[in-house]
Chains A and B, each alone.
Chain A
Amino acid sequence: MSLVNLHQVHKYYGDHHVLKGIDLDINAGEVISIIGKSGSGKSTLLRCINGLEEYQQGGITLDGNEVTTEDIQVRRLALSVGMIFQNFNLFPHMTVGENIMLAPTIVLKKSKAEAADIAKAMLEKVGLAEKFDSYPEKLSGGQQQRVAIARALAMSPKVLLCDEITSALDPELVGEVLKVLEQLAKEGMTLILVTHEMNFARDVGSRVVFMHKGKVWEQGDSKTLLSDPQTDELKQFIGAVL
Chain B
Amino acid sequence: MLHFSDLLQYTDVFFSGLMTTVELTLLTTILGIALGTSCAATRQYGHPIGQRTVTVYVELIRNTPFIVQLFFIFFGLPSLGLKLSPWQASMIALTINLGAYSTEIIRAGLNSIPKGQIEAAKVLGMTFRQTLTRIIFTPAFEKIYPALTSQCIIVMLGSAVISQISVEDLTYAANLVQSRNFRAFESYLVTAFLYLGLAIALRFIFNQIGKRLFAYREAR
B-binding residues in A (CB < 8 A): 50, 52, 71, 74-75, 78-79, 81-83, 85, 87, 89-95, 102-103, 106-108, 135, 137-138, 148, 151-152, 155
Contacts and interface: CB of A to CB of B under 8 A. Distances in A.
A78 B220 contact: no
B134 A106 contact: yes
Interface in B116-135: 116-117, 119-120, 122-128, 130, 134-135
A135 B220 contact: yes
- Point out which of B114, B122, B139 has the most chain A C-beta atoms below 10 A from its C-beta: B122
A135 B215 CA distance: 11
Contact of B135 (A75, A83, A85, A91): A91
Contacts of B135: 91
Interface string B24-55: 00000000000000000000000000000000
A89 B119 CA distance: 9
B6 interface: no
Interface of B: 114, 116-117, 119-120, 122-128, 130, 134-135, 138-139, 142, 214, 216, 219-220
B130 to A, nearest CB: 6
A232 B40 CA distance: 53
Contacts of B125: 75, 78-79, 103, 107-108, 155
Contacts of A95: 216
Contacts of A71: 127-128
B219 A155 contact: no
Contact of A103 (B117, B126, B216): B126
Nearest to A133: B219
B138 A93 contact: yes
Contact of B142 (A87, A93, A137, A152): A93
A148 B214 CA distance: 22
Contacts of B139: 92-93
Contacts of A148: 120
A177 to B, nearest CB: 17
B166 to A, nearest CB: 46
Nearest to A87: B116
B219 A107 contact: no
A52 B220 contact: no
A151 B127 CA distance: 17
A107 B216 contact: no
Contact of A107 (B116, B126, B220): B126
12 contacts: A75-B126, A78-B122, A85-B119, A87-B116, A89-B119, A89-B120, A91-B117, A91-B134, A92-B139, A102-B134, A107-B125, A138-B220
Contacts of A151: 124
A107 B134 CA distance: 12
Contact of A52 (B119, B126, B219): B119
